[in-house]
Amino acid sequence: MRSAYHFFDCRASYGMRCYRAPGSFYRKEDLLRKMADYSIDCALVYHSLSKEYDPMVGNHVLCREIKDDENLFPVWAVQPHYTGEFDTPSKLLEDMKANGVKALTMFPAPSSQNFSFAEFTCGEIFHMCEEHQIPFFVDMDQMGGIAAVDWLCAAHPKLPLVVTKVNYRIDRDLYPLLDKYRNFYIEVSGYKPFEGIKSICERFGAGRLIFGTGMPESAGGAAVGLVTYADITDSEKNMIASGNLKKLLGGVAL
C-alpha cells in the first residue's frame, strides 16, 4: 500500500563510503528500492564522494549517474574557492544552471573537509545562495552545533537554510532561534523529541519542518514514521512531507 502522504526526501545520498554501517546500502539502485518501499516519491541526493573525497569529483559523478532518474535531484557540495580546488561562486552558478542543480550542501567539519564554517571562508557562498534563493542544507554537526544558526541567519537573513541531522536534545536552543529568524528550517530525520513535531507545529507552524531521511546513514522508515504518526493535521503532514521543500525549490532563481 502506498502512503497517504507524498514524501519528497531532502537529504539522501548514495555511493561507497570509508565506513559502511552493518546492513546499510551504498548503491543508487538500493536507494531507489528503499524509496519505493517507504513510498517516498522523490529525493534530493548528494554523492558520498562529494562528502568523503572531493566535492568537484563527487558533484559531477552524481549528475552523470542520476541524469536518467526522474525522481532524483542533485545536491552539490561546495567548498571555499580560495585555494583553487573549487570553483568560484560565479563559475559554480554557471555549472549549476547547466546541470539543473537547485540545492547546495557543505561538509566543513574537521573530520570532513576541514575548513571554518565562517563568514571569512564561506560568506561569498552564503551571499550567492541568498541572492538566488538557493536552499542550503547543512548537518548540525558539520556547522558546529545549532547555535551557529544565530550568526549565520543574522548575517544572511534571506538565506534559505535547512539544518539537517539535528538531534532530539536541541529545543532549549532551537526555540529561541525559531522565534528570532524566519529563514531557517529543520530537517526532521533527527528531530525526535517526544511529541516534538507536534510542539513545533503548535508554536511555530508546520512551515518550519522539512522531511528528510538521511539515508543510508539514518533509517528511512524512522523518518517516515515521525511524520505519519505526528499528532498534527493531514495538511500539516503534507507540508512537512513535501510541500515546504517544493516551495523552497520553486523559489530558486538561477
Partner 1 sequence: MMKIADYAKAGLPIKDVPIIDEHNHLGRWGAFYVPGGGTIDQMVNRMDQVGISKICVTAHASIGPDYVYGNNLVMDALKRYPDRVIGYVTVNPNYPEDMQHELDRCFAVPGFRAIKFHPECHGQPVDCKGYEAAFEEAEKRGCPILIHVWGDDAVRAVDGLAPRFPHAIFIMAHMGGTDGHSMEKAVDVVNRHPNVYGDVALSRPTEGNIEWLVKEIGSKRVLFGTDMPFYDPSHVIARVALADITEEEKKDIFYRNAAKIMKLDNPEYRK
Q: Please report, as ranges, the residues that interact with partner 1 according to CB under 8 A.
A: 1-5, 19, 21-25, 34, 37-39, 167-172, 190, 192-199, 213, 215-231, 237
Judged by CB, which is closer to partner 1: 161, or 224?
Answer: 224
Reading the block at residue 8, the C-alpha cell is 519528497
Q: How far is the CB of 228 from partner 1 (least distance, A)?
A: 3
Distance of CA 184 to the CA centre of its chain: 12
Element (H, E) at 170: none
Judged by CB, which is closer to partner 1: 159, or 197?
Answer: 197
Rg for the chain (alpha carbons), in Å? Answer: 17
Strand-pairing partners, residue 138, are 163
Q: How far is the CB of 26 from partner 1 (least distance, A)?
A: 10
Q: How far is the CB of 43 from partner 1 (least distance, A)?
A: 13
Helices 196-204, 171-180: crossing angle, 10 deg rounding: 20
Judged by CB, which is closer to partner 1: 19, or 120?
Answer: 19
Q: How far is the CB of 22 from partner 1 (least distance, A)?
A: 5
| Separation CA 128–CA 143 (nearest Å) | 18
Cell 543508487 -> residue: 28
Q: How far is the CB of 139 from partner 1 (least distance, A)?
A: 12
Of the candidates 15, 52, 8, 46, the one whose C-alpha atom is nearest the C-alpha of residue 30 is 15
Judged by CB, which is closer to partner 1: 31, or 122?
Answer: 31
**Is the distance from CB of 191 to CB of 209 less than 8 angstroms?**
yes
Q: How far is the CB of 216 from partner 1 (least distance, A)?
A: 4
Judged by CB, which is closer to partner 1: 142, or 213?
Answer: 213
Judged by CB, which is closer to partner 1: 8, or 86?
Answer: 8
Reading the block at residue 95, the C-alpha cell is 555549472
**Is the distance from CB of 135 to CB of 142 less than 8 angstroms?**
no
Q: How far is the CB of 177 from partner 1 (least distance, A)?
A: 14
Judged by CB, which is closer to partner 1: 21, or 254?
Answer: 21
Reading the block at residue 242, the C-alpha cell is 513535501
Strand-pairing partners, residue 185, are 162
Q: Looking at residue 117, what DSSP letter applies?
A: -
